[in-house]
Chains A and B, each alone.
Chain A
Amino acid sequence: MTAILDALSRYSHFATRRPTLAAFVPFVPVVGIWWAVAAMEVVPRAFFPGPLEVAQGFASLTYKGILPAYLEDSVGRLAVGAAFGIALGIPLGLVVGFNQAMRRALWPVLLFFQAIGDIAWLPLLLIWFGFGLTTMTFVIVYTVIFPVVFNTALGVRSVPRDLVRAAQSLGAPKWRIVAEVILPGALPNIMTGLRNGLGYGWRALIAAEIIVGTSGIGFMMFDARRAGSAVEIVLGMIVLGLLWYAVDAWILAPIERATGQRWGLVTKA
Chain B
Amino acid sequence: MKGLTLRNLHKTYFDPAVGTKVTAVQDVSLEIRPGEFVAVVGPSGCGKSTILNMVAGFLPATKGDIIVGDRAVKGPGRDRGVVFQNFALLPWKTVIDNVGFGLKMRGIPKPERDRVAREFLALAGLSHAADRYPNELSGGMQQRVGVVRALANEPDVLLMDEPFASVDAQTRMTLQEELTRIWQERPHTVLFITHDVGEAVFLADRVVVLSKGRVLREIDVPIARPRVWDAVSEQDDFKRLSFEVLQMVRAA
8 Å CB interface, A204-258 against B: none
8 Å CB interface, A177-206 against B: 180-181, 184-185, 187
Q: How distant is B159 from chain A, measured CB to nearest CB, in Å?
A: 8
Do B84 and A166 have beta carbons less than 8 Å apart?
Answer: yes
Do B82 and A165 have beta carbons less than 8 Å apart?
Answer: yes
B35 within 8 A of A: no
- Bound-complex Cα distance A262 to B82 (A): 26
Known A171-B105, A263-B91, A265-B91: A166·B82 in contact at CB below 8 Å: yes
Q: From B76, B86, B91, B134, give the contact of A169 (CB < 8 A).
A: B76
Q: From B75, B91, B105, give the contact of A172 (CB < 8 A).
A: B105
Interface size on A, residues (CB 8 A): 23
Do A166 and B135 have beta carbons less than 8 Å apart?
Answer: no
A45 within 8 A of B: no
Known A169-B56, A170-B101: A181·B91 in contact at CB below 8 Å: no
Q: How distant is B139 from chain A, measured CB to nearest CB, in Å?
A: 13
A167 within 8 A of B: yes
B187 within 8 A of A: no
Q: From B77, B88, B91, B133, give the contact of A171 (CB < 8 A).
A: B77
Q: From A162, A181, A184, give the contact of B86 (CB < 8 A).
A: A162
B92 within 8 A of A: yes
Do B56 and A165 have beta carbons less than 8 Å apart?
Answer: yes
Do B90 and A169 have beta carbons less than 8 Å apart?
Answer: no
Known A165-B58, A171-B105: A263·B78 in contact at CB below 8 Å: no
Q: How distant is B144 from chain A, measured CB to nearest CB, in Å?
A: 15
- Name the residue of chain B whose CB is nearest to the CB of A183: B92
Q: How distant is B135 from chain A, measured CB to nearest CB, in Å?
A: 3
| A173 CB contacts on chain B under 8 angstroms | 105
A264 within 8 A of B: yes
What are 6 inter-chain pairs, A to B, with CB distance below 8 A?
Answer: A168-B57, A169-B77, A169-B80, A170-B153, A173-B105, A263-B133
On A, residues with C-beta under 8 Å from B are 160, 162-163, 165-173, 176, 180-181, 184-185, 187, 259, 262-265
On B, residues with C-beta under 8 Å from A are 56-58, 75-78, 80-82, 84, 86, 88-92, 101-102, 105-106, 133-136, 149-150, 153
Q: Supply 16 further A-B pairs (C-beta < 8 A) apart from A168-B76, A171-B153.
A: A160-B88, A162-B88, A165-B58, A165-B82, A167-B90, A169-B76, A169-B78, A170-B81, A170-B101, A170-B153, A171-B77, A173-B105, A262-B133, A263-B133, A264-B133, A264-B134
